[in-house]
Amino acid sequence: MLQSSNLLERATRLNTHFAEAQAISLLEAALHDGQFGKTALVSSFGAEAAVLLHMVSEIDRNTPVLFIDTEMLFAETLQYQRELGDLLGLRDLRVLRADEMELAAEDPDGTLHKTMPDACCALRKAAPLAKGLEEFDAWISGRKRYQGGKREQLSLLEAEEGTGRIKLNPLANWSHSETAAYIAAHRLPPHPLVAKGYGSIGCAPCTVPAKGREGRWQGQNKTECGIHFGAGKVVRSGAGG
């Protein structure tokens, strides 16, 4: 892993180099040419996840795909994950879950999301992902600028301080319409909850039908689960952080 200053310099250089590159070109550099070291795709198998999953399957079906099962996901998401993984022929799909002992100690009755949602996300999402990424030099995310909030200034490549990894956001400048067009053009099955009005799909207790990410953590001062912020560290905090 690179030191912080070298990592930032490298990310800056890479952003300049790939500024005009297509998403598939960035993915090929990561997965086929090995320019970023050992790289994994992290996927929620959510509303727009099929785009990157399809691209990655076209480049290398042996690419590690990390899926975080918080054990609070919609049944439809779990079924979609199995069906889409099989359809695309993904050969290294890894399901990450929270440590059973930590769950028993910190959320024994499964209600932590009601009182301390940030702590719940840290326990069920950030911690398992941090462990799952330990062997990798870089990882791929499906975040996009149009999704708003902290994502509006999203770079194609980021220096993940605290871990020494590079994070790739190949679809950063894609619009919702471009994403939908890709899914339609490649005849990829949509997540079944999209037809029910879910624009963004997370854990069942914390997601309602709404446009974009507006249905996530409604009524709370919270817009992110924590796996993309916090300098790679698991941060436990109260509701709304």
Residue 43 vs residues 46, 104, 186, 202: alpha-carbon distances, Å? 8, 26, 19, 12
Q: Is 120 a catalytic residue?
A: no
What are the phi and psi torsion angles at 216 (to 5°)? -95, 125
Question: Contact at 8 Å (CB) between 191 and 73?
Answer: no
Question: Contact at 8 Å (CB) between 230 and 126?
Answer: yes
Residue with tokens 């690419």: 63
Rounded Cα distance between 42 and 171, Å, is 13
Catalytic residue (one of 120, 203, 206, 225)? 225
Rounded Cα distance between 22 and 20, Å, is 7
Active-site residue set: 225
